[in-house]
Chain A
Amino acid sequence: MKRDPIYGTMAEFDTPQALIDAAKRTHEAGYKKIDAYSPFPIEGLAEEIGFHFNEVPLVVLIGGIIGGLTGYVMQYWMSAVDYPLNIGGKPPHSWPAFVVITFEMTILFAGVSAVLGMLALNGLPMPYHPVFNVPRFAFASKDRFFLIVFSSDKKYHRAETRQFLESLAPRSVSEVPS
């Protein structure tokens, strides 16, 4: 299979404000497959590139429910079904005593799902990515802000997109080889 030799076109900005304005204009200009890169989270940037819904809370909720059920059912089954032992005359199904472990298991499962869910939804770990081919991109983890239009976008045209990005007054524009 022959791949598109160009992954996208990328513009570099100096400030978070410039990036958020540029992202907004690019999205309004009809480019839908775009992404923005910054060295720290910028409030509202994800919305500007058309990303509104994230599933992380749902994943955590499901993880927490599974954890809580696992914790309680495990204790119930082990103490009341599989091997009931009379200890101090307490009933085999001593639900108040099971609360602590149920709670801890809820937190454990929810926390692990939060981290793994975030990584999975973000497609990480991914040590190689085409954007790393741009030498200037090393500054994306320091003090520069980048906006990319992917070549898979319907409206993408190598020269026109470049021209459009240049009109946003970036510091520089470069092509990202795939």
Chain B
Amino acid sequence: MDEQYKTAVGPERAPVIEPGHTFGTVTEKISAIVLTRPASNGWFLGFGIAFMLTMMLLYSIGYLFLKGIGIWGVNIPVGWGFAIVNFVWWIGIGHAGTLISAILLLLRQSWRNSINRFAEAMTLFAVACAGVFPAIHIGRPWLAYWLFPYPNTMKVWPQFRSPLIWDVFAVSTYATISALFWFIGLVPDLATLRDRAENRWAKLIYGMLSMGWRGSARHWHRYETMYLLLAGLATPLVLSVHTVVSFDFAVGIVPGWHTTIFPPYFVAGAIYSGFAMVLMLAIPIRKIYGLEDFITERHLQNSAKVMLATGLIVAYGYGIEAFMGWYGGDRYDTFTLWNRLHGPYAVPYWMLLICNIFIPQVLWIRRLRTSPGALFFVSGVILVGMWLERFIIVVVSLHRDFLTSSWGMYYPTRWDWMTYIGTIGMFLALMFLFLRILPAISIFEMRTLLPEAEVKAE
């Protein structure tokens, strides 16, 4: 790490890593969570609940396949219900992981080193949850592969002028690159676990996964080039993914969707909710596993500042939407604005404004930015708010069609809720497993943060 950066941190800001650690203690402390620490009752309880919710997800998907999407609340005119709301919500949450691992790497923000690993895992699991919805919402899920261009007896190809097909490519590329980035980042740490594991099977499995990594200088040299290039590729990718997701809406001529501000405002919202999820995971993890030395007050503060900034961009997006609804003079747009504020879904809309704009402003107060409890609460509020935002975008625009004869209402059924809560369970179950079998903090990147890692340039 460069000297200039370390001095710039200054005395009044909390350090990225508490003093007194060595290469050995960092390695021990992080690998012990996986290798020697027995699974606690709390872990079993948490995993058990998450696993039961995952089973509920599978049950509700099974019933969906049996009965069809009639079990959901979707109808005409509201053909896009919870499935799209949840898809956009989950994909957005994933974005913070890529932001932390790729964009902050390119910006040389070394504080990212202690949170990038589990943030990347979060990305991967969130994208997995998101991926469930497009596959199951299409009515005939056994034909989901029609989305991909493959030679077939019907001789037709996908419609490449449609944003929905762009989305297939964007999301599958994003899932692939996120998985690669995460796995390749793990390889040197898997080698550490291979060398430290006592159990024969653990040694063998970590050994195979680490692919014989031995830390050669030549290998590190190519590895670092690769890692930097991958970060450089993931940066425009992550911005493109939510942009393309917003095209799914913005390209349609539905009032409330057909606006050019959607791409930047979607990306900001994605990072906003993603950082909220990072904090909701990091705060309990650092407490339970005693990782306050590595995930310090500084990380909490910085994440809170990112949320504050992206939250303001989101607020600006709402403001411009409302302004254009009035200034644009299109009667359907004006009606959409009025309908959001006073229509049948006014309560969720006002809740959305409270959750996303008003409550997060408490993060201006330094004392709350550094208090784990307060941050946990605000993050929860933001996650609810961002979910409501997607609900408003999808449902409020659709339920009032252009002709009053086609107006309708959307009420989610218990199957909608079970599927949604089920994906939260699946996300948490994967997170619980990840914490027990892989190092949740990047060990080798933490070593580079220690003062003893510095070498004099010739």
A61 CB to closest chain B CB (Å) equals 9
Smallest distance from the beta carbon of A143 to chain B beta carbons, Å?
4
A49 and B447 within 8 A (CB): no
Q: Contact flags (1/0) for A160-173 with B, using CB distance below 8 Å?
A: 00000000000000
Let me know if A154 is at the binding interface, CB within 8 A.
Answer: no
Q: Does B236 contact A (CB under 8 A)?
A: yes
Task: Specify which of A17, A43, A90, A107 is in contact with B161 (CB 8 Å cutoff).
Answer: A90
In contact, B211 and A119 (Cβ under 8 angstroms): yes
| Residue B448 CB within 8 A of the other chain | yes
CB contacts (< 8 Å) of A110 on chain B: these are 229, 233
CA distance A93 to B416 in the complex (A): 40
* Contact digits for A99-126, partner B, Cβ 8 Å, 1 yes 0 no: 0110111011011101101110110111
Interface residues, chain B, with chain A CB atoms under 8 Å away: 22-24, 27, 149, 155-161, 163, 165-166, 169-170, 173, 176-177, 180-181, 184, 188, 191-192, 194-196, 207-208, 211-226, 229-230, 233-234, 236-237, 240, 244, 247, 444-445, 447-448, 452-458
Instruction: Write 18 A-B pairs (CB below 8 A) sorted by A numbering.
Output: A17-B456, A36-B217, A40-B445, A45-B221, A87-B159, A101-B165, A101-B166, A103-B240, A104-B170, A111-B230, A111-B233, A115-B226, A118-B226, A126-B212, A131-B214, A138-B196, A140-B214, A142-B192
B455 and A20 contacting across the interface, CB-CB below 8 Å: yes
CB A38 to nearest CB in B, in angstroms, measures: 5
Shortest Cβ distance from B189 into chain A, in angstroms? Answer: 8
How long is the Cα–Cα vector from A167 to B93 in the complex, in angstroms?
A: 55
Name the residue among B160, B169, B444, B448 with the largest chain A CB count within 10 angstroms.
Answer: B160
Contact residues in A for B233 (Cβ distance below 8 Å): 60, 107, 110-111, 114
**Max count, chain A CB within 10 A of own CB: residue among B211, B220, B224:** B220
How far apart are the CA atoms of A71 and B160 in the complex, in Å?
11
The yes or no answer to A41 lying at the interface (CB within 8 A) is yes
A150 shortest CB reach to chain B, Å:
12
Cβ B23 vs Cβ A44 within 8 A: no
* Selected contact of B217 from candidates A15, A45, A90, A104, CB within 8 Å: A45
Contacts of A107 in B (CB 8 A): 173, 177, 233-234, 236-237, 240
CA distance A85 to B409 in the complex (A): 36
Known contacts: A100-B240, A111-B177, A141-B192. The answer to whether A132 contacts B225 by CB under 8 A is: no
Tell me how many residues of A have a C-beta within 8 Å of chain B.
Answer: 70
- Interface pair A37/B166, CB less than 8 Å apart: no
- Asked if B240 contacts A118 (CB within 8 A), the reply is no
**A97 contact set on B, CB distance < 8 A:** 160-161
B67–chain A nearest beta-carbon distance, Å: 33
Inter-chain contact B220/A104, CB cutoff 8 Å: no
Question: Does the CB pair A82–B230 fall under 8 Å?
Answer: no
- Return B210 CB to nearest CB of chain A, in Å: 9
Chain A residues with CB below 8 A from B157, complex form: 78-79, 82-83
**Given A78-B149, A97-B161, are A124 and B211 also a contact pair (CB < 8 Å)?**
yes
Contact between chains at A142 and B196 (CB < 8 Å): yes
Which of A39, A54, A57, A117 is close to B444, meaning CB atoms less than 8 Å apart? A39
- Is B452 a contact partner of A15 (Cβ separation < 8 A)? yes
Chain B positions within 8 Å of A37 at CB level: 214-217
Nearest residue, chain B, Cβ from A96: B161
In the assembled complex, A94 has its CB within 8 A of some CB on chain B: yes
Asked whether, in the complex, the Cβ of B208 is within 8 Å of the Cβ of A114, the reply is no
Output the least CB separation between A166 and chain B (Å).
21
Please name the residue on chain A nearest to B178 by beta carbon.
Answer: A111
Give chain B residues whose Cβ lies under 8 Å from the Cβ of A39: 23, 27, 188, 192, 215, 444, 447
Residue of A nearest to B209 (CB): A125
Given contacts A114-B226, A126-B211, A127-B212, contact A142 B195 (CB under 8 A): yes
Chain B residue numbers with a CB within 8 Å of A17 are 455-456
Answer whether residue A56 sits at the interface, using C-beta atoms and an 8 A cutoff.
yes
Chain B residues with CB under 8 A of A101: 160, 165-166, 169
What chain A residues lie within 8 Å of B184 (beta carbons)? 115, 118
A74 CB–B CB distance under 8 Å: yes
B406 → chain A, closest Cβ, in Å? 22
> Which residue in B149, B212, B217 is a CB contact (below 8 Å) of A125?
B212
Q: A54 CA to B191 CA in the complex, in Å? A: 23
Asked whether A3 is an interface residue with its Cβ less than 8 Å from the other chain, the reply is: no
